[in-house]
Amino acid sequence: MEYTDTLAPLEIELQKVNALGGSMAVVVIPERYADKALTCKRGVDTAVRMNEYLVLGLFGTQADEASARFLSIPKGIAVYPQDGKEIQDLFFEALERLRFMGSSNWVKRLWDSIKEVKSLECKEDQESRFIAATFYQFLLFLTSHPNELKQVFTGLNASELSWVKDYIPYGFFSSPPTAQSISDEDIAALFNEWQYQEKMDVKLEKGKTTLRKFRNIEHLFTLPSISQEIIDLAGDSLVAASKMAGIIEKDPVLTSRILKVVNSAFYGFRRQIDSVEQAVVILGNDEVINLAFSIAIHKILDTITPERAEKLWEHCLVTAQISQWLGPFMGCTSKQLLYTVGLLHDFGKIVFLQRGYFVGGVQGPSSLEDLSTEETDSGISHAEMGAYVAERWNLPEAIVDALLSHHLPSKANDIGLAVTVHVADVIAHCGRIDLSLVNSAAVRFLSEKKGPALSQEKIAQTMEEIVSRVKVVLDT
């Protein structure tokens, strides 16, 4: 009886709508937001108070319009005639939606932002993939509200939870949620105030501008032809030493640097190695290809190298070697692929540095804050920038994909490869696997795969060897 009486003014409106054959949105808003909501309503809208709610009837309105009118206010909306014909049914439907709004909205947005590449206006545009691949600002926002997010997570079942967790740093889950409960309405309000869509639009626009600026930097996208030939060689593990030497020897700088490296004290050969063919026979195809590729890529940087970029290049060389070592434990056997992805994983940072963009994580692995700041600055992170360059070089899709997802390995087509580089990155910076810096999905993958050889001592010993090998390459 109480409902009928209180909702009577809305019932009258509904009868009018019914007679005219139009629509009406019924909006339920928590009492504490009533004053704000009343300032947003039009003169023709009807408002009644029902217990702890304000209920509005919006004549001739659909859900999207009603939602836009009360932006930033938690609400549930039901629309006549599609959601119900009776005012009570519409009220309860809207109330139900308000109650579910808190968590479901967060989870849905999270899902949208990380799982799907948004379609931009221009679908055939290849650059969209790099502009819309991630939304680190949103992930940072989520993790900077740990209590709210953990509460949302407690309402999820195990399968829903597993994918959400995959996008959050592992350390995030090591502390339990606080006992204090936060209302769904407060969670929804927090989310609405963050203005997801507006921020996403700004990000997409900035990303487009950034790639437009980079698009015409000729020298950056002209991979020395020798590198392309080396990449082609890498696909053929049985290529003869003479054939490989023939290609490398076309480039005198490359040849002399390779010979310098293999004749350095590090390799400790008693006899002087005086031809590339001999180097290939002694060191093996993989080693020579990696060396040649690193030197060829570095040539692109020679003309444009601030000091911090040099540091990053050293980090990339170390990560490439660690990736190669770590790969087999993760089920990755292609040494060439591992090396190239490791070598190029932070290439985007080097490129950004050269153009004066913000770059985080030069001294340590990129945090969510770093990635988010890169995104705020240029619309994309260094992961997308590096993948974009790799695609422009026509490198294989496996490489582009791994570069794109090296900070969010769950997004990768080949998770093993992306996790390997993600973890190798942390080892290269810290000399050990610091789990607080590793993504949750990578931690899970690691615990499933790692063998006894991945002890802390083994990692430290391997690191030492790798760092001295890289020093030789850098010094020559």
Residues that bind Fe ion (CB under 5 A): 346, 366, 425
Token look-up 């650059």 returns 127
β-strand partners of 439: 169
Least CB distance to Fe ion at residue 349 (A)? 7
Residue 464 token pair: 């030492």
81-94 b/e (C-beta count within 10 Å ≥ 16 → b): eebbeebeebbbbb
| 3-state DSSP assignment of residue 176 | coil
Instruction: Give me the phi and psi of 142, to 5 degrees please.
Output: -60, -50
* Start-to-end Cα distance in the chain: 89
CB of 365 to Fe ion, least distance (A): 6
Q: What share of the chain is helix, strand, coil (3-state, %, to 5)?
A: 65, 5, 30
H helix or E strand, kind and range, residue 328: none
Q: Which is nearer to Fe ion, 277 or 425 (CB)?
A: 425
Q: How far is the CB of 425 from Fe ion (least distance, A)?
A: 4
> For residues 88 and 435, what is the distance between their CA atoms, to the nearest angstrom?
53
Least Å distance between CB 358 and Fe ion?
14
Single out the residue of 372, 324, 367, 374 nearest to residue 351, CA to CA. 374
Task: Supply angle C-alpha 234, 239, 242, rounded to 5.
Answer: 115
Q: Is 51 left (phi over 0), alpha (psi -120 to 50) or beta?
A: left
Question: What type of residue sits at position 252?
Answer: P
Give whichever of 166 and 374 is closer to Fe ion, judged by the CB atom. Answer: 374
Nearer to Fe ion, 233 or 408 (CB): 408
Q: Taking the complex as a whole, how short is the minimal distance between the CB of residue 428 and Fe ion, in angstroms?
A: 7
| DSSP assignment string, 136-182 | HHHHHHHHT-HHHHHHHHHTS-HHHHHHHHTTSBGGGGGSPPPSS--
Q: How far is the CB of 78 from Fe ion (least distance, A)?
A: 46
- Parallel, antiparallel, or unpaired for β 46-50 and 76-80? unpaired
- For residue 397, the minimal CB distance to Fe ion (Å) is 19
Q: Which is nearer to Fe ion, 258 or 385 (CB)?
A: 385
C-beta of 61 vs 439, nearer to Fe ion: 439
Q: Which is nearer to Fe ion, 33 or 136 (CB)?
A: 136
Closest CB to Fe ion among 251 and 425? 425
Least distance between Fe ion and beta carbon 389 (Å): 13
Nearer to Fe ion, 229 or 425 (CB): 425
Q: Do the beta carbons of residue 106 and residue 127 sit within 8 Å?
A: no
